[in-house]
Amino acid sequence: MTELLQRAFLSDAAGGKPSNSASPALMHLGFWDRLTGAAQLLAACCCLLLFFEYVSRPFFPIDSRARAVIFVLLAASALLMIAGALQSERRARRESVLREDEKRASLAARSANLGLWVWDRPNGVLWATPAYRALLDLPEGAPLTMDAMMAHIHAEDVAGLRTAMNSATLGQKTVEYEYRYLRPGAGLRWFRIRASGTLDQDGGGKLSGLVMDITEQRKIEAEVESQRRSLTHLSRVGMLGQLGGALAHELKQPLTAILSNAQALQRILERGGADMVEVRAVIRDIIQDDSRAADVIRHLRSLLKKDEFRGEALDLNEVVSQTLKLVRNDLMVKRIAVAIKLHSTRLPVTADTVQLQQLLLNLIFNAVEAMAESSARGGTLSLTTGIGGEGLAHIAVADTGPGVKAEILAKLFEPFVSTKMNGLGLGLSISRAIAESHQGKIWAENNATHGATFHIAIPLAKETA
Amino acid sequence: MNGLMESVSPQVFVIDDDPSILVALKRLLNSAGYEARTFTSPREFLACHDADVPGCAVVDVGMDELSGIALQERLSLGDNPRPIVFVTACDDVRVSVQAMKAGAIDFLSKPVSDVALLSAVRSALELDHKGREERRELAELRHRYGMLTLREREVMAQILRGRLNKQIAYDLGIVEKTAKVHRGRVMEKMEVRSVAALTHIAERLGLYAS
């Protein structure tokens, strides 16, 4: 295929009209051309000789043996001509097949917006198809050199591209690299280059390959990513409704302490003869509780903010207990007992706190709803963290509800699958997206006795300390 | 006549699982002249609870192991039910109605203002004090009534019905003079001077019901 593409590129480079001189693959067929030419010349000479012999026979009769030799030569040249004609016929057929292949390959390359190139590194020659030139959008007539091309590549990608090209040359392998190209007319474009290197006998390297414009593809990917983010964010904002009570509770606690401290201080000062040590202690406590309230608000803001994925070094145990704190009140009101079993040591992961909390909250809310549906007498929510083998941290969220129906279980994490009356069926698909963005997995199973368990596994981070 | 309870000043027991709130509420109560003791959990509080110590409890509704409502049930048992002022950070109407029905003094939302808290604590302590006084008086009256002999109780019942000594003597088959002596003993033992006062005591002892 590469050979074909190369040929296609060469024919493309010649303006779509292949010629023998430009097509090394056809070069060896010239021998038959020369042979046929020689045979024709020989036959013509023989015919001329026979004609002169016939005209001059009354005056200069020649030896019948010499005439026989001429006839033999004539016959031989005729045979050679026939052979040559047959050969050229074969050649024409092969050429037409090749040309057809080349045409197809170049059509494919053009329609896929592929630019093909060959870079003769030691000689500094860069061959490229017109499609490639069009991608680069270099000014007309400007010489195509590696330096001219490199000058337009995004500064952050130059070093990477050079490294990729070098490793292709030295390793004689195929490498791929994506880089940004500043096209003078059309702004920033994303290109993907695929290069394969070969080494000459004299040690010089030759690179060839193709380049494609993946800007549109990138745009679509970015669009999909941003929509996913919007959806994640929206579901989080929706979750805030459910969390409202818990957050209000978290905020009221420090506010209560602040108010009571301040009013106590007011009374102490009004009474006169205040103990300054006590006064200082009260003020210190007010400041402390104020920052506690600020933390709650910061957390709330982080839940409301539409952030990109931010991986931080976290302890999974910590994330689980923090999340539980948010819903503790809600669980108590609904008379749901909590059984929490955290792994005895830290579970270091690289994760986005907000997203991980969202994922856990989603599972907890689902569990709570499942239990509320099945009985009015509450139930037990079990949260367990541990190591799930192969360097994975594992969280299990189990409930004592009615469990998940077998036919739903298989497609539980697909979008728009819901068992709730007013459910959109997005919660778990968002949960899966979050797990996957952490290089993790999420799955569910029904418990042996009653209820269901949802599992999350995400890779453990290697702790440097 | 006064028991040793009078010697112990009333306490405000504050139960909340948030340590910084405990510290702040204790300061506020102290600044208003109340003695306060703090506990981070209902369990801790119950472990050293003495129903004979006068005072009230300020209880956070939302606590992990034992909810404020459950604690209220426990405290309402026994001879000396302790008045409770609830504070809560989550406005759950159902819980507050339940608490008020079960006899809570007040149900205050966090953050709670000093005026509201202190007035609730004041009325809780007053109620506790009044309750204890009443219970002590009643115990005293029961004690007095217990001192009466069977015959004296019979005479007392007759007195309460407004009968004269003559009628009492006739009914009980004794002489009038003896009836008069019995009446004198009853009035003396019950520490009253008039039939009206004796009637009042009988009412409090619930003698009319039987």
pLDDT of residue A232: 74
pLDDT of residue A274: 83
CB contact at 8 A, A153 and A163: no
Which of A255, A264, A329 lies nearest to residue B27, judging by beta carbons?
A264
B27 contacts in chain A (CB < 8 Å): 260-261, 264-265, 268, 282
pLDDT of residue A465: 46
A57 pLDDT higher than 90: no
Q: What is the pLDDT of residues A114-128, one digit of tens each?
A: 888 888 877 777 888
A253 contacts in chain B (CB < 8 Å): 18, 20-21, 89, 110
Compute the Cα dihedral for A341, A346, A350, A353 and give only its sign: positive
A268 contacts in chain B (CB < 8 Å): 27, 31
Compute the Cα dihedral for A389, A395, A398, A404 and give only its sign: negative
B114 contacts in chain A (CB < 8 Å): 259-260, 263-264, 267
CA distance linking residue A343 with residue A12, whole number of Å: 65
Sheet (strand B106-109) strand order:
B35-39, B11-15, B55-60, B84-88, B106-109
Query: In this structure, what is the dihedral angle of CA atoms B126, B132, B137, B139, given to the nearest 10 degrees?
Result: 170
Sheet (strand A336-341) strand order:
A336-341, A379-387, A392-398, A452-459, A441-446
CB contact at 8 A, A456 and A395: yes
| B23 to A285: CB separation less than 8 angstroms, yes or no | yes
User: Is residue A11 very low, low, confident or very high in pLDDT (cuts 50, 70, 90)?
Assistant: very low
Q: Which residue of A has its CA nearest to B91?
A: A245
How far apart are the CA of A367 and the nearest CA of chain B, in angstroms?
19
CA distance linking residue B207 with residue B199, whole number of Å: 9
| A263 to B90: CB separation less than 8 angstroms, yes or no | no
A21 pLDDT higher than 50: no
- Classify A312 as helix, strand or coil: strand
Choice among A68-77, A144-153, A370-379 with the minimum mean pLDDT: A370-379
Q: Which amino acid is at B178?
A: T
Which of A264, A267, A328 lies nearest to residue B24, judging by beta carbons?
A264
The CA R_g of chain B, rounded to the nearest whole Å, is 24
| A249 to B114: CB separation less than 8 angstroms, yes or no | no
| B113 to A259: CB separation less than 8 angstroms, yes or no | yes
Could you tell me which residues are beta bridge partners of residue B106?
Answer: B85
CA distance linking residue A457 with residue A385, whole number of Å: 10
Please, what is the Cα angle at A150 between A148 and A151, to 5 degrees?
Answer: 65
Phi, psi of A347 (to 5 degrees): -115, 90
A25 pLDDT higher than 60: no
CA distance linking residue A454 with residue A459, whole number of Å: 17
Q: What is the pLDDT of residues A340-388, one digit of tens each?
A: 999 999 899 998 888 888 889 889 888 888 888 776 667 899 999 999 8
- Classify A169 as helix, strand or coil: helix
Task: Specify the DSSP element, H or E, that contains A286.
Answer: helix A276-304
Looking at per-residue pLDDT, the higher value among A51 and A108 belongs to A51
| A256 to B111: CB separation less than 8 angstroms, yes or no | yes
ipTM above 0.85, yes or no: no
How many residue contacts between A and B have a Cβ separation below 8 Å?
A: 86
DSSP category for residue A153: B
B90 contacts in chain A (CB < 8 Å): 245, 248-249, 329, 333
pLDDT of residue A201: 59
| A248 to B113: CB separation less than 8 angstroms, yes or no | no
A329 contacts in chain B (CB < 8 Å): 62, 89-90
| A329 to B90: CB separation less than 8 angstroms, yes or no | yes
pLDDT of residue A151: 82
Can you read off the two tokens belonging to residue A189?
């474009």
CA distance linking residue B140 with residue B147, whole number of Å: 11
pLDDT of residue A61: 73
Average pLDDT over residues A280-309: 85
How far apart are the CA of A269 and the nearest CA of chain B, in angstroms?
10
Candidates B14, B23, B96, B113, partner chain A, best to mutate (most A CBs within 10 A)? B23
Candidates B86, B90, B93, partner chain A, best to mutate (most A CBs within 10 A)? B90
A422 pLDDT higher than 70: no
Which of A267, A285, A329 lies nearest to residue B20, judging by beta carbons?
A285
pLDDT of residue A19: 37
| A289 to B20: CB separation less than 8 angstroms, yes or no | yes
CB contact at 8 A, A129 and A112: no
Q: Which amino acid is at B114?
A: D
CA distance linking residue A263 with residue A266, whole number of Å: 5
Can you read off the two tokens belonging to residue A403?
């469990």
* pLDDT above 70 as % of chain A: 87
CB contact at 8 A, A398 and A452: yes
A348-351 and A312-315: which strand pairing? Answer: antiparallel
| A257 to B24: CB separation less than 8 angstroms, yes or no | yes
**Model confidence, pTM:** 0.55
Q: Which residue of A has its CA nearest to B95?
A: A333
CA distance linking residue B152 with residue B149, whole number of Å: 5
Choice among A105-114, B11-20, B32-41 with the minimum mean pLDDT: A105-114
Beta strands in A165-271 (DSSP E): 174-183, 187-199, 205-213
Most confident residue range from A243-247, B116-120, B154-158: B116-120
Candidates A256, A292, A335, partner chain B, best to mutate (most B CBs within 10 A)? A256
B55-60 and A348-351: which strand pairing? Answer: unpaired
Q: At what angle do helices A276-304 and A215-271 cross, to 10 degrees?
A: 160
Can you read off the two tokens belonging to residue B72?
């209220």
Which of A249, A260, A261 lies nearest to residue B89, judging by beta carbons?
A249
| A254 to B24: CB separation less than 8 angstroms, yes or no | no
Question: How far are the Cα atoms of A47, A266, A399, A428 from residue A451, in angstroms, in the given order?
Answer: 105, 54, 5, 17
Average pLDDT over residues A70-98: 87
A321 contacts in chain B (CB < 8 Å): none
How far apart are the CA of A275 and the nearest CA of chain B, in angstroms?
12
A282 contacts in chain B (CB < 8 Å): 27
CA distance linking residue B104 with residue B83, whole number of Å: 7
Q: Which residue of A has its CA nearest to B22?
A: A257
Candidates B14, B17, B22, B27, partner chain A, best to mutate (most A CBs within 10 A)? B27
Phi, psi of A337 (to 5 degrees): -80, 150
DSSP category for residue A112: T
Candidates A243, A251, A263, partner chain B, best to mutate (most B CBs within 10 A)? A263
| B64 to A328: CB separation less than 8 angstroms, yes or no | yes
